[in-house]
Structures are given as C-alpha cells and as structure tokens.
Amino acid sequence: MDSRSQRSNQTDSSKDIFNPSKAINYNCLQKVVFFSDKHPFLIYKDSRSIGFINCVNFEIQKLFDCNYKRGGNIHSMIQQALSEDTLEIVSLIYKPKDDQGPEERKFGYYTVTFE
C-alpha cells in the first residue's frame, strides 16, 4: 500500500461537523474577524441559516434563519467587528416567489455580542 492510500483512509474532521440546517453543504465558512483563543469561532452560512462553529469543542450554534435559495457563495456574507466582542454580519437574502409571498432580495443585518 502506498502512502497516498494510507492518507486517504485517515479521518478528515471537517467532514464530521454536523450542519444544523441539514443543507447539503456550507456555501460560506469564515473565521470571525477577531478569531483567537477567546473567540475560536467559524461563521457558517448555507442556503438556510447562519451560525457559529466552536473550533475547540466543535459545538454548533445556529443563530438566524437566512434563506438564500440560489447562487449562494462566499461573497453572500461579510462581517465587521464593531468592538472586540461584537460582530456585525451582513448577508444577502433571496427568496423566490411562492405561495407565501413575492420574490424577495435584500440584505440581512445581524449583530452578535460574545460574552
């Protein structure tokens, strides 16, 4: 057996992180801008929600429902530190026309304070 096949049998822990919204994949995964030992978090965004993944214990906290039904990618969410413990997340939101209402395209603004 060569070294390439041995490496491919090793567990990739990133595949073991549960996606709380059950979407097929994360379309945006970013470190928080003040990533540190105090704030060891990744922000995930997929077609259904935004939340945080703790990089120490791999716990996930879903923060907001945030539909982006088509074309989501890393450019559909940005973040800005408002202070050393407060983060603003801006996300594109798109909902196609359906029985619940008309097509909707807008920015969602979310503020999170870490304790």
Q: Is residue 3 part of a domain?
A: no
Q: What integer pLDDT is reported at residue 19 of this predicted model?
A: 65
79 is a domain residue: yes
pLDDT at 5: 47
Position 4 in a domain: no
Average pLDDT of the chain, as a whole number: 78
Q: What is the DSSP letter of 10?
A: S
Rounded Cα distance between 15 and 8, Å, is: 13
**Domain count within the chain:** 1
In a domain, 105, yes or no: yes
